[in-house]
Structure 1
Amino acid sequence: MTAVDPSLLSNPRSDGVRQVAALGRRAARDRQGRFLVEGPQAVRELLRYAAPAAAALYVTDAALARHTDIGRAARDAGLEPRRCTEQVLAAMADAEHPQGVLAVARRVDVPLGEALDAVGTDGFAVVLAQVRDPGNAGTVLRGADAFGASAVLVSDASVDVYNPKVVRSTAGSLFHLPVTVGVPVEELLAACRSRGVRLLAADGSGRTMLPHADFGRPHAWVMGNEAWGLEESVRALCDDVVAIPIQRAESLNLAMAATVCLHASASARA
C-alpha cells in the first residue's frame, strides 16, 4: 500500500481547493478580497514587487524543482509553498494549460489620490473608460508599464482587473505601477483635472493628429470601448481629442492604439 504524503495536496474536490478555484468568479473575488496569479512569470513579479499581497502559493513538485527562485522568494517573504498534484493545480487554475505555479493574492489597487500622486507634475497615465475585453485591458496595463506610465485608472464600467485573463495578460505588470479601480469615469476625469492633468481622448474622430498632441505637462490618455470608442459625453470632458494617423487600415484595435499613444508620451519625455 502506497503511503500518503500529508504535505501534498492531492484531493481536487477538497473545500480548500474549491475555495481557490472560486476566485475565477468575480463574486468570490469581491467576497474574499483576493485573486488568482497564474504562471511562474506573474508569480515571480508578485513576490518581487508586491510580496506583502501574496497570501498563498501552490506549486507542483516539478515546477518547484524547475523554478527554485520562486520557492526562495516565497520563503524570504515568509510564505511556505504548498505542494500539490497537477490535478489539484488544474482544478484551482483558470488557465486551460496551467504551468505548475499558482498564487492567491490580496488586492493591490490603490486609492485614486495615491495614483494621481504618482503622476505628479511630469508623469502620464491611462484611463480605461469602458474597456470590457480582459485581454485588451491586460495588454494596455502591460504597455503602460513598458512605456513608463505613472498609473492606470480603471473605471467602474470596465472589466475587473482581477479577472484571471486580465492578470495573465499583464504578465506581472499589475504589480509594477499604481492601479485604481471601480471609480466612475466622470470622477476619474474630474480628479485628473483638479490635479492639473491634461486629458487626451484617444479617438479616430479627433482633429489633432498624434504627432501634434501637447505633451508639455502631466496628461492622461482616455481609452474607450472596443466596439464604439468613447461616448460623446466623455470626449466633451477631455481637453483634446487625438487621432492616430493611419495609412491604409480602417482602424487599430484598442490595445494597439493605446500602445502607440503611450509610446508617444514616453518619447516626448525621452
Structure 2
Amino acid sequence: MASFQPDRALARSSGRVKAARKLARRASRAEHGLFLAEGEKALTEALQRDPRGPGGVAEVFATPAVSEALAPLRSVAEAAGVRWLQADEDAVASLSGAVSPQGVVAVCRVLDVGLDEVVATSGTVVLCADVRDPGNAGTVVRTADAAGATGVVLAGSSVDPYNDKTVRATVGSLWHLPLALEPDPAAAVARLQASGRLVLAADGGGETDLFDAEDAGLLDHPVAWLLGNEAWGLPDDLAALADHRVAIPILGRAESLNLATAAAVCLYASARRA
C-alpha cells in the first residue's frame, strides 16, 4: 500500500470534519443516529458489524501516520465499503474528547436495542437507574461483558451511552452485548420480573447481605441487578419494587463502594452460581 501524504489530509475546517464534530453533542447524535468512537480497539470491534447496521462504521478519520500503522484495519474497512478519510492531527484531535488523542476516530451507527430484546436473553441483566457519570456507566458495561451478563439497561435519566467518555470506558464492550435505553425504571423492573428473573437491588441498607443471599440460594435463579445513582443510590420507591434488597458487606473501614465496583462484586457473585 502506498504511503500516505500529509498534504492530502483534511483540515479541521473541512466540512466533513465539522459535520463529524457536531456528534460531540447529544442532540446531534440523537438526530443522526451516529456517534464517535475513538481508538484502534473501538474501531476493531465496530468493523466486525455490518457497516450499514447497528453499531457499524459509517466513516473513519485518521492521521496519515495512524492510517499507515493501521493499514490492515483500513483494508478491512474499505473492503466493507467504509470511507477512510485522512485528516491532519489537529482535525482528528478536534473529534477526540481524550487528553491524548489516538489519531483515529470512527463515526459509528448507534446500537441500542429495545428493552424486550434484553429481557429475552437468558442470563444476568444489569439495570442502571439514573446513572449519571459516563465513566461509571461505561465501566458497568465493560464489567457486565467480562462477567458474562447478557444485557444492560440504562434507565431513567442515565447518561447517554454514546458520550465519548462512556464509549471509551467500555473499551470495546459496547459492541459485545445488547444495551437498551428505557425512560421508566419501574417499567424495566416489571418487565424483568415478568421474564422470571429475581430483581435484586444493590442497596447499602438492604435487608440481606450478599453472602447471605448466596447462602440462601437467591443467586441460583435468573437475576437482574438493579443499581442506582452514584451520589444518592436508589430511590426508596424504586428499591421497594425489587424482589430483595441486597447489601454488599463492608468488612473494613471504607464508607462504601463506588458504583462500578459494586456492580463488579454483584455480577461476579452471580457468575459463580451460573
1:89 maps onto 2:87 in alignment = no
Q: Distance in 2 between matches of 1:76 and 1:7?
A: 25
CA contact (8 A) 1:189 1:237 kept: yes
TM-score where L is the length of structure 2: 0.91
RMSD: 1.6
Runs in 1 of length 4+ with deviation above 6 angstroms? none
Q: Distance in 1 between matches of 2:8 and 2:28?
A: 25
The aligned residue for residue 222 of structure 2 is 218
The aligned residue for residue 23 of structure 2 is 23
Residue 134 of structure 1 deviates from its aligned partner by 0.3
Q: Distance in 1 between matches of 2:43 and 2:259?
A: 27
User: C-alpha offsets along residues 124-144 of structure 1, whole Å, 9 cap, x if unaligned?
Assistant: 010011100000000000000
User: C-alpha offsets along residues 177-229 of structure 1, whole Å, 9 cap, x if unaligned?
Assistant: 00001431011111111111110000110121112321122111000010110
Residue 245 of structure 1 deviates from its aligned partner by 1.1
Residue 11 of structure 1 deviates from its aligned partner by 2.2
> Which is worse superposed, 167-176 or 72-81?
72-81
> Which is worse superposed, 23-32 or 141-150?
23-32
CA contact (8 A) 2:206 2:247 kept: yes
Q: Distance in 2 between matches of 1:139 and 1:115?
A: 19
TM-score where L is the length of structure 1: 0.92
The aligned residue for residue 177 of structure 1 is 177
SS in 2 for 1:251: coil
The aligned residue for residue 163 of structure 1 is 163
Mind listing any 5+ residue stretches in structure 1 that lack a counterpart? none
SS in 1 for 2:107: strand
The aligned residue for residue 74 of structure 1 is 77
1:103 maps onto 2:82 in alignment = no
1:44 maps onto 2:47 in alignment = no
Residue 113 of structure 1 deviates from its aligned partner by 0.8
CA gap of 1:200–1:111, structure 2 versus 1, over 3 A, is: same
Q: Match for 2:273: what amino acid?
A: A
The aligned residue for residue 257 of structure 1 is 262
User: C-alpha offsets along residues 226-262 of structure 1, whole Å, 9 cap, x if unaligned?
Assistant: 0110000111100001111111211101111111111
1:238 maps onto 2:242 in alignment = yes
1:206 maps onto 2:192 in alignment = no
CA contact (8 A) 1:60 1:83 kept: yes
**For this pair of structures, how many residues does the alignment match?**
262
| Identical pairs, percent | 44
